[in-house]
Structure 1
Amino acid sequence: MAGSNPRLLNAIFSVTRPKLTTCRQVSKQVRRRLNTQPKSGKTADDPEFVSIVDAPAQVISTRRKHNKLGLAVLALIPITALALGTWQVQRLDWKTKLIAKFEDRLVRPPLPLPPRIDPSVIDEFDYRRVYATGTLKHEAEMLVGPRMHDGKDGFFVITPLEREGGSTILINRGWVSRERRFQQDRDPSSLPRGEVTISGLLREPWKKNVFTPDNNPQQGKFYFPDVAQMARYSGSEPIWIEETMAPSLLESYNREEKGIPIGRPAEVNLRNNHVQYIVTW
């Protein structure tokens, strides 16, 4: 371009001509943007070079390690449940046969109680229907309780029965309310005089619960029927009979009002919850 000013041309070309960038500059820019540092890699000719074949990559687990003790406890849970369930199956079989044996004794005709009884054979006659004749010793009456009956608080009335020949046994006459626990608060018909015949179940001595307090015979407090202890206290034999009566709502109301002991029905009252325990375990 003739007659042109060289300075003006250089200024124009410097503005319009794009700035060239080398490959090295591009590499630096990329590394800067990625915020990484160039690796000082080593070639195969370097004595310190280690191949990936000689040092393969290792897989590192990031999962949390489990506690071996906790796993052992978890493993014992199903084993324990199986053992307890098997034990309950055995208990169910034992309890079912025991109830069947007692129910078989209930349907048999009542037996007259022999003049003398060996306490060691009571287990063979548990829940056997019997009857005995004698005189009730109301002056030696004992109360066992508290005991609940139809949601009401009360006591069992235990009265020695003196039979002919000098043999005296213990009779559980039944339940009276707390308001009728004293003889002076009862109707005279609740204290029969003279010779009477008692029908009931011959029962094996009770077993004390670990949570039940000890009896105090000197103060007339009996929290559970310790047959041997009550027999010594009243001068009786350790023979326990539970008087029975036919279930009747009107009769029970009448007896409760007069303070006449309410006898138990002639039935087996053993609990059998082992099926529920089996399902639970």
Structure 2
Amino acid sequence: MTDPDALVALIKAEPSTRGHTISKLGYFCAPFRPASGPLSDKVIKVYRGLPDAAALDRLKQCHDDYFAALRQCGVTIPDTEMHLVSIDGARQPVIVQEALPEDSLMRPLMQRAGLDDALGMMEAAGQCIASFWHGSQKIDTRIGFHPSIRNFAIMDGKAVFFDTFPPLIHYSRDEMGRMLLQYSDKRLMRLVGPLMQKRVTGIQDEWYSPPETLVGLVGSACRLRPPEAEAFLDWGRDFATRAMQPWAEEALRGMQEPPRLPGYWTGFRKILGLQGEPNV
């Protein structure tokens, strides 16, 4: 169990002493891993607080429910807790997650691997996606999944998922659209985003669609390794047919050619300076 006082002290420590930042390119925060101490085997993710206490309490409950649902659906995920900690008089959500070896992150592994090994990693991630969506049919609430290449690690040939924020459970589509702005780490997004709320809200739609999550994974692989796009498309078509039968027809329609990101999302990422790097 995480000591709240130790967690607050760590967060308030000077950045140069609290540990190294794993990635500065995430949309919601810049996770870090402590260099030493009782939390040195954890990744810490600190998110923006809100003045609405009830909304924060709901966020934590939804996160707890989402973590439980992921495991219920057969998703392999490291031990993960959300805490609401008081920092300088304001409560902030903080996720404490068991750290994964940095050399297990799927995206850099995909960049270095031979084609056969890359397809093996896609199979591992695909099995995770299929397990989630088949399992989710027994969950009686709105639930989604964001299985991008940068949200997986590969360990012993198995995909390990580690992205639990925002918790894609219980919230309505409009509520999740607002959360994408409320918790953004980028001030520019919070300022400009409300002017394009409809488009911002649409970012999430892929996460709540079984066929589109598979198509999104394949699209990421095609963009990461363009010369081998046809091999990833062939894998995706085959996988949809044999492992995601209820949604296969729609998934196949999305993989006639290398899938592309929506123009508005690539535009947002350029404005915010975000790139396709691991955001653990």
TM range (shorter): under 0.3
Normalised by the size of structure 2, how large is the TM-score? Answer: 0.23
Name the structure where strand makes up a greater proportion of residues: 1
Q: Which has the higher helix share?
A: 2
Bigger CA radius of gyration:
1
The alignment's TM-score, normalised by the length of structure 1, stands at: 0.23
